[in-house]
Amino acid sequence: MVSVTRCFLLLCFLLLCFILISPSSSHPHPLDPLTPAELSAVRSIITSSPLNLSASLTFHYVGLDEPDKSSVLSWSSAYSYSSLPPRRAMAILRAESQTHELIVDIAGAAIVSHIVQPGTAYPMLTIEEETAAGLLPKSYAPFVESVRKRGLQLEDVLCTSYTRGWFGAVAAKGRRVVSVLCFVAGETANLYVRPLEGIKVVVDLDEMKILEYRDREVAPVPPAEGTEYRAAKQRPPFGPRGKRVVVEQPEVRWANWDFHLAFDTRAGAIISLASIKDTGGSRRSVLYRGFVSELFVPYMDPSEDWYFKTYMDVGEYGFGLLASPLQPMIDCPPNADFIDGYYATESGEPLVISNVFCVFERYAGDPSWRHTETMIPGETINESREEVTLVVRMVSTLGNYDYMIDWEFRTTGTIRVSVNNLLTGVLAIKATTHNHTDQINTDEHGELVAPNSIAVYHDHFVTFHLDLDVAGPANSFVKANLKIVHTNSGNPTPRKSYWTVVRETARTEADARVRFGDSTAELLVVNTGVRTSLGNAAGYRLVGSSAAGTSLLSDDDYPQIRAAYTKKQLWVTPYHKEEKWAAGFYADQSRGDDNLAKWSMRNRSVENTDIVLWYTLGFHHIPSQEDFPVMPMLTGSFELRPFNFFERSPVINTEPFYKGLWPQ
Ligand SMILES: *[C@@H]1O[C@H](CO)[C@@H](O)[C@H](O)[C@H]1NC(C)=O
Ligand SMILES: *[C@@H]1O[C@H](CO)[C@@H](O)[C@H](O)[C@H]1NC(C)=O
Ligand SMILES: *[C@@H]1O[C@H](CO)[C@@H](O)[C@H](O)[C@H]1NC(C)=O
Ligand SMILES: *[C@@H]1O[C@H](CO)[C@@H](O)[C@H](O)[C@H]1NC(C)=O
Ligand SMILES: [Cu+2]
């Protein structure tokens, strides 16, 4: 470790350490998240208003009311602090079983708009009500009896809230209900693999009481043995481990990227106004706003206790709200800088999530580009450049799963999202009486991964909102298809076939819904008003990944109606400030009337206008024994890569960072 640190400090000293401007810097930015003081101000403005007459007032979301894009862009081009748009907050509250949407002018200490939401879908759960609902069974006599009957200790049983989706007629009309599911810890910390199967607890969150209880005692709690993951609990023989060799390297030439990073209770990390210096040295916009818009996780077990498990983790639970503090040296490398995030609790008070983001330079020992030339007489040319990148990282722990989102910025102009990691944590386990695959049939809806433990089949669909502004907001979406051309052999050469590119510019939203695996070779966002000296339109390419699954549920299945957009990997919509959340603003118990697929059906024009890409990383998860008791990190990524955005490779004249041997 000593030599690593010394090496790091030496390089840092020699090469001028990079400078990061954190969101809490003294220069205000219109997209800064609300500060603790602003969160407190919003709370006192609201609690001193007539709304506070309600004893049941709870805060479900408080965040920046995003200023209009036009005012942000004019501020951004002028860098004139006098033209900062007024700071406004959006607050979503519940009072007397109603949802209230408020816009608050913070400086003016005024509520500028107040709407009582009439819909049938609900805001994100608060942590406090999830906790309170989880405690209800423990003082509920029939549940206490169920625990006793199973020979378990009540103090080992832990329960938490699970959203129930919407299933048409079966819906609990007009109530904010959740299922409370219970697990057994005690001998192990790995409670998610030890469910109390067959117990149904339905809770009304507004009344905070149990509406429905049933115990079908279907299978015992799976054994604790072999499920522990805490390092302190492991016993020899230990598993294999490589030597810890950490080589990080601060990089000097960061300056070609510039972006704003903000924390939001719902979205987690929001990257805004990302711009890069072009080869002529002037700054050009790339991404106005990028964030995780929704995360849909449907389980594939239609039985009574499992059918409703079709979660929308961003809209129902909050990707930011459930962010986990990152641990230095484990979750992030030694050279990382950490940034805190703030959110409003149920009572509106600000609370910190420390180390919610880490930002670091990464050098993993890979070249960015290379070439060896031996054709030149008398010399061998070996040219290569290190790939040093800047990474912004956050982790959100949504119950049993932990999602790690990385935004990686490369000097080549590429932005990669979640390169080496995306998803880890504990599988959702269904208890079974079986402990051999011979006893398992298709009715089990999963794989036997441990004695008495079925890991149920499910999907993960992570949908990103990508408001690209490639060299400005007026962009078009172009699909490049490969066309196979057959020729007459011998005329004039013996070749019989080749492929060529046929480009098609999407005119309306209907043209811009893409399912991968068709003949689509390239998906481009171009600005036809900004061209290279050779005449190519400035563009960015979306490069998808192997995690390209789409939903296999039938179109008329309730969860699919709610997440209809998961049938395609890519959608393009014209920019609309309100269209941020792919499964709708109110996701809990939504009915599919406000989602990306619905908006797209308007078939609006997407040509030469401000457009937004919606890209979904999709996994069909068929668990295996290696995923138990904790699943090793699964990868899944995509890239936004410049395409005729620069006149030439922007890194061709980059000096090698270190010529010769690495310092010892
Ligand atoms: C409502 O106002 C009272 C008196 O000002 C205060 O004590 C209480 O905390 C407020 N309620 C909420 C939910 O903030
Ligand atoms: C390039 O690599 C070759 C083979 O490793 C080596 O012989 C040669 O000296 C290198 N040339 C330079 C200029 O470093
Ligand atoms: C298999 O399950 C049965 C009944 O649940 C139990 O008695 C037995 O010990 C289990 N065997 C193993 C290897 O876990
Ligand atoms: C979308 O609009 C275009 C242009 O008006 C039209 O040609 C096309 O048929 C429409 N598609 C759908 C699915 O409505
Ligand atoms: Cu999974």
DSSP of 289-326, one letter per residue?
A: EEEEEEEEEEB---STTTTT-EEEIIIII-TTTTB-PP
Ligand 3 neighbourhood includes 226 CB (under 6 angstroms): no
Task: Render pLDDT for 5-34 as a digit per residue (tens, 0 to 9).
Answer: 333 433 433 333 343 434 444 578 899 999
CA-nearest residue, atom 2 of ligand 3: 435
Higher pLDDT, 376 or 146: 146
CA of 450 to the centre of ligand 3 (A): 11
In the three-class reduction of DSSP (H, G, I as helix; E, B as strand; rest coil), residue 577 is classed as coil
pTM: 0.85
Ligand 2 neighbourhood includes 500 CB (under 6 angstroms): no
- Residue 66: pLDDT band by 50, 70, 90 thresholds? very high
- Residue 4: pLDDT band by 50, 70, 90 thresholds? very low
Ligand 2 neighbourhood includes 382 CB (under 6 angstroms): yes
Q: Residue 169 has what pLDDT?
A: 66
Count other C-beta atoms under 10 Å from residue 13's C-beta. Answer: 10
Catalytic positions are 313, 401
Res 58 pLDDT > 90: yes
Res 250 pLDDT > 70: no
**β-strand partners of 373:** 381
Rounded distance between C-alpha atoms, residue 643 and residue 542, angstroms: 10
Ligand 3 neighbourhood includes 435 CB (under 6 angstroms): yes
Rounded distance between C-alpha atoms, residue 102 and residue 61, angstroms: 10
CA of 369 to the centre of ligand 2 (A): 17
Rounded distance between C-alpha atoms, residue 312 and residue 581, angstroms: 11
In the three-class reduction of DSSP (H, G, I as helix; E, B as strand; rest coil), residue 122 is classed as strand
Where does 487-623 show beta strands of DSSP type E?
497-505, 520-531, 537-543, 570-574, 609-621
Ligand 2 neighbourhood includes 380 CB (under 6 angstroms): yes
Helices (H) and strands (E) in the chain, counts: 7, 30
Rounded distance between C-alpha atoms, residue 42 and residue 45, angstroms: 5
Task: Render pLDDT for 433-488 as a digit per residue (tens, 0 to 9).
Answer: 999 999 888 788 999 999 999 999 999 999 999 999 999 999 999 999 889 999 88
CA of 540 to the centre of ligand 5 (A): 31
Select from 507, 508, 511, 598 the residue to mutate for testing ligand 4; criterion: most ligand atoms less than 8 Å from CB.
508
Task: Render pLDDT for 392-401 as a digit per residue (tens, 0 to 9).
Answer: 999 999 999 9
Select from 371, 374, 379, 380 the residue to mutate for testing ligand 2; criterion: most ligand atoms less than 8 Å from CB.
380
CA of 227 to the centre of ligand 5 (A): 17
**β-strand partners of 134:** none
Select from 375, 382, 384 the residue to mutate for testing ligand 2; criterion: most ligand atoms less than 8 Å from CB.
382
Place of tokens 């990190």: 633
What is the 3-state secondary structure of 22-90?
CCCCCCCCCCCCCCHHHHHHHHHHHHCCHHHHCCCCEEEEEEECCCCHHHHHHHHHHCCHHHCCCCEEE
Res 241 pLDDT > 60: no
- Residue 234: pLDDT band by 50, 70, 90 thresholds? confident
* Percent with pLDDT over 90 in the chain: 66
Ligand 2 neighbourhood includes 374 CB (under 6 angstroms): no
Structure tokens at 420: 């080496």
Higher pLDDT, 594 or 83: 594
Ligand 2 neighbourhood includes 26 CB (under 6 angstroms): no
